[in-house]
Amino acid sequence: MNRLLSIFYPRKCPYCSKPLKYDMTECLVCRAEFPKTPRIEALPTGEICIAPFTYNGAIRRAICDYKFRGKKFNAYSLAGAVVSSIRNVYYKDMGFEVITCVPMSKDRKIERGFNQSELIARYAAEQLDKPFENLLYRESGAAVQHEKTYSERISGKDDSFHVISQEKVEGKKLLLIDDIMTTGVTLSRCSTILRDCGAERVFCASVAISKEYGVHNNISGGG
């Protein structure tokens, strides 16, 4: 964050709203309460997705404040937690060459003003010293995922995701980042398309995984 701006707009901890000292992205109390080990869950297509958090409580509030209430500062802390999980789980295989994100349709992007997964992926890329690139796009006007039932989503054909440039995907090891994993369908679709276009490997990470993920498979909403 711009240092001059931070004088006029004191930064607050994304999780408890207490004022933060210079350069901190969350307070020490909240940081100490972060889960010590990341969640690791299998996607419907068999890959794994890792996440530092379960989507509930203060984490849920921090993510909603970020996505819907313009608190973009929260992205620094959320990205930092994702990076810790990536280092923790993928440490033996950190050879991904490019970091990318789940895309948002043009319509949604205009509506929200930014792609929340992209900003987190960009901050994560900075911290991991890897390049970020938008490799996928999502067609505007495609049926919104949360309007479909789980079985429609898992079985139905979804042509809304596309690779921007096959050349940039072919033979590459990629890290794909999303904000919240609810059913794993979106990450599965994106990683399948990337592999179909020749990606050597796709590692997946998200900020949070829904509490119910893996408990039952009849969840509607999110991705």
Contact residues: Zn ion, CB under 5 A: 13, 15-16, 27, 30
Measured from the CB atom, the residue of 5 and 32 that comes closer to Zn ion is: 32
Angle between helices 116-128 and 74-89 (to 10 degrees): 60
Q: How far is the CB of 80 from Zn ion (least distance, A)?
A: 13
Closer CB to Zn ion, 33 or 93, in the complex: 33
* Minimal distance, residue 88 CB to Zn ion, in Å: 21
The conformational region for residue 215 under phi > 0 = left, psi -120 to 50 = alpha, else beta, is alpha
Q: Which two tokens stand for residue 117?
A: 């997964």
Shortest spacing between CB 17 and Zn ion, in angstroms: 7
Report in angstroms how near the CB of residue 5 gets to Zn ion at its nearest.
21
Question: Which one, 15 or 123, has the nearer CB to Zn ion?
Answer: 15
Q: Which is nearer to Zn ion, 14 or 103 (CB)?
A: 14
Residue among 27 and 190 whose Cβ is closer to Zn ion: 27
Over its C-alpha atoms, the chain yields an Rg (Å, rounded) of 17
Residues paired with residue 49 on neighbouring β-strands, in sequence order = 41, 204
Whole-number minimum distance, CB 187 to Zn ion, in Å? 29
Least distance (Å) from Zn ion to the CB of residue 190?
Answer: 32
Instruction: Please say which residue, 55 or 213, places its beta carbon nearer to Zn ion.
Output: 55
